[in-house]
Amino acid sequence: MSGLLDVMEANRPQLVRYLRAQGMGEDAEDILQDLRLKLLDAAPGPVGNPLGYLYRALTNMVIDKRRADIQRRKRDEQWADNADLASDVTSAPGQERQLDSERTLGRVEEALGGLTPRARDILLRHRVDGQTQRAIAADLGISQSTVESDLRGAYVLLHDLRKRLDEE
């Protein structure tokens, strides 16, 4: 894995700049350090596009960090809201999560009705199966830009759904 670490060091200013552009500010260096530790822990494996790989890993970490921050805020808010309520019965966190996900499943199913069957197929192939856009285009016999276009629409649709679900 020294190859990836070397690439990271050689491109450090660029990667820090990217993280700052993603709004990470002071945390940029820490995030790079986190990635460094993860890479040290990983078994060596050939990577076709090392710099691209690093960017994608960092992007992922940015998104994960954002989710963690949002969840923490939500939990803090909930705690504040419930602080006055005395309750004998508390449902287990696991149960709440399960019920919520069943309801969400129905809503997602419903929202995806707004996509063409092809767009729905492309979305699931990409997000669930992890197929690349190129592979999907080849499978379905369409151009890659058609795949990209369908995916764009799907992402916007999912975002709208997320906003609606959050408001409830």
Partner 1 sequence: MTKRAEHLLDEAAVWLVRTGDPSFDDWDDFTCWLEVDPAHAEAYQSLAESAASLDPALAQLDRDPVEANAPTVRRTRPWALAASVAAFAALGITVLPELRGTTYETRPGEMRTITLAAGDTLVLNGGTRITVRNLPGRRVALDRGQMLLRLDGDNRPVTVLSGDLRLVDVGTVFEVARDEKTTRVTVAEGAVMVDPKSARLRLDAGQRLDARDGDALLRAVPAPTEGVGSWTDGQLTYVAEPIERVAADLVRSTGVDFSVDPAMRRLPFSGTLSVAAVRRDPVSLGPLLGATVKRSDKQWVIGKG
Helix (H) or strand (E) segment spanning residue 92:
none
**Closest CB to partner 1 among 21 and 89?**
21
Name which of 107, 118, 111 is nearest 146 in CA terms.
118
Q: What count of residues does the chain have?
A: 168
The SS3 assignment for 84 reads: coil
From 60, 82, 116, 143, residue interacting with partner 1 (rule: CB under 8 A): 60
Q: Which position among 2, 13, 26, 41 is part of the footprint of partner 1 (CB under 8 A)?
A: 41
Residue closer to partner 1 by CB (options 80, 97) is 97
Query: Residue 87: what are its φ and ψ, rounded to 5°?
Result: -140, 135
Write the CA distances from 124 to 107, 110, 115, 148, integer angstroms. Answer: 16, 15, 12, 13
Q: For the packed helices 144-167 and 133-140, what is the interaxial angle rounded to 10 degrees?
A: 110
Q: How far is the CB of 77 from partner 1 (least distance, A)?
A: 15
CB-based contact 149:136 (threshold 8 Å): no
Q: Which of residues 17-36 bind partner 1 (CB under 8 A)?
A: 17-18, 21-23
Q: Is 113 left (phi over 0), alpha (psi -120 to 50) or beta?
A: alpha
**Minimum distance from CB of 17 to partner 1 (Å)?**
6
CA 116 to chain CA centroid, Å, is 23
Binding to partner 1, residues 135-154 (CB under 8 A):
135, 138-139, 148, 151-153
Select the residue interacting with partner 1 from 5, 27, 53, 115 (CB under 8 A).
Answer: 53
Closer CB to partner 1, 88 or 120, in the complex: 120
Nearest approach, Cβ of residue 85 and partner 1 (Å): 23
Q: Which residues bind partner 1 (CB under 8 A)?
A: 14, 17-18, 21-23, 38, 41-43, 45-49, 51-53, 55-57, 59-68, 70-71, 93-94, 97-98, 101, 104-105, 108-109, 112, 123-135, 138-139, 148, 151-153, 155-156, 158-159, 161-163
